[in-house]
Structure formats: structure tokens, C-alpha cells
Amino acid sequence: MASFLPRTGFRAFKTLPRASMIPQLRQIPQLQPLSRRFLATTPQEQPRLRLGSTAPNFQALTTLGEIDFHQYIGDNWAILFSHPADFTPVCTTELGAFAKMKAEFEKRGVKMIGLSANDLGSHDKWVEDINEVANTNVQFPIIADADRKVAFLYDMISQQDLDTLAEKGGIAFTIRSVFIIDPSKKIRLVMLYPASTGRNSAEVLRVIDSLQTADKKGIATPIDWNIGDDVIVPPTVSTEDAKKKFGEVREVKPYLRYTKF
């Protein structure tokens, strides 16, 4: 470029006044280099795990051996649920409850897998406590995530912990998260809970029933729906077509129509 500029152009650049010599320019704050401004004002983004996005794959050690997450799911549905730490009261009650519901999830073709931010040695001893307290037998794997690798991959970190890490360093807790993943490895539902609040295992099972029914029948489910209750005809289906497909249709409003399941 320089070889195409006339010499007068170089003289013109040399004679331009400095910013300090122009009052209007002195009022403009000095800008930092772009890279520095970006780093200073933009926090580190966590993964955006939207509904319908592919669940990130990972390899990890678990209480039942090393796994590849996508291979573990196979052609099944899956529930990935996380816990802040081993030997904590709420987590112990949760894992015991899910262990007792294993047969119900298996009927629906669902694999469970837990995660806790401790190593395998701790997990093995904790499982003994869970089995004793809940009078059950935990048979699904629990991921050892002491380095928080999976926790960060699935954004299982609270904003408060991220702020603390940025200010003081240290290591983050893992929040209570539930991910329901379908056989195509797509995320279908996400639930996030604070550490003080235990989950409702029956609600997780209810959601599985709703998702699977909607996929198979092309319907929607209303508030508090359970298997056996009436379902909703989607607005995209006309009443005439709904009657052909489902039989009886009960119209409450033109946009709210129920049918038997």
C-alpha cells in the first residue's frame, strides 16, 4: 500500500495535529486496545445448552468403570443428575430415591447416571451410606468429577461461584442439575435446583412420560398431567383432523381442545 501513496500523502500525515492539540479530541477518553477491552468487560461464557442442542459428549471415571457418555446412552433416553458433594444430607436422600425408582425408569427405556464432585474412593464409601439410609441398592453409575470437568461442560456452576472464582480463585461447587436426554442425544429438559432444595423424583418420571407420549402421539400435556389423563390437541392440528386422528375431541376454547389418551 505504501508504494502507491504519493509523497505528499506522507507529508500530510506527518503534519496532522496531535489529539492533545484539538480541544474536542481531548474530551474523548483514551480507548484501550480492542483485545484488552474485550477481556476486561466480557465475562467468560459458559456453554449454552439449549433445549434441542446435542448433549456434550465426554469420557469419565464412574463407580461402574470408565464410560463414554454417548456410548453409555446408546439408543436409550438418559437422565444426568448432579450433586454438590458426597456425604451431604440432601444428596444422600436424592440418590436413594432415584435408586428405588430404577425399575420404573427402565420400563421407559431410561438410563440414569449421577455426578458428584468427588473422587471414586469417596463415591464408593458414600454409596454404602446411601444404600444403608434408603434401604436400597444403587446400581447406576456415579461420575467422579473432582476436577469439575463435566460440571463446567454442562454449566453446573452458579454465578456466585463463578464470581468468587474470578475474585479469589479456589474451586467451585456443583449445583443440582437434571438433564433429560433423548436417544438422538438431544437435550429435552433442564432443571436447576439450589443446594438447599431436594428434587422431586416423581416429577422427573412424570416429565419423561410427557415427553415420550408427546413424541409418539403428537400431542401436548396440560398442567399436572399424568398417564391416563386427557391430553391437549396441538394448535397446529385442526379440530376436524384431530377427530380423525384421536376420535372424540372436547373443545373448551378454539385453541384449547382435549382428547383421550
Contacts of 1 (CB under 8 A, 6+ apart): none
Phi, psi of 42 (to 5 degrees): -115, 115
Q: Which three cell numbers mark 241?
A: 383432523
Whether the CB-CB separation of 254 and 237 falls below 8 Å is answered with: no
Q: Which long-range contacts (CB under 8 A, 24 or more apart) does 1-5 make?
A: none
| CB neighbours of residue 172 within 10 Å | 18
Q: Find cell 465426554 and name the residue.
A: 58
| CB neighbours of residue 258 within 10 Å | 19
| CB neighbours of residue 181 within 10 Å | 23
Report d(CA 131, CA 129) in Å as an integer: 5
For 240-255, b where at least 16 C-beta lie within 10 A, e where not — what string? eebeeebeebeeeeee
91 is catalytic: yes
Catalytic residue among 60, 78, 91, 113: 91
Contacts of 139 (CB under 8 A, 6+ apart): 99, 102
Active site residues: 91
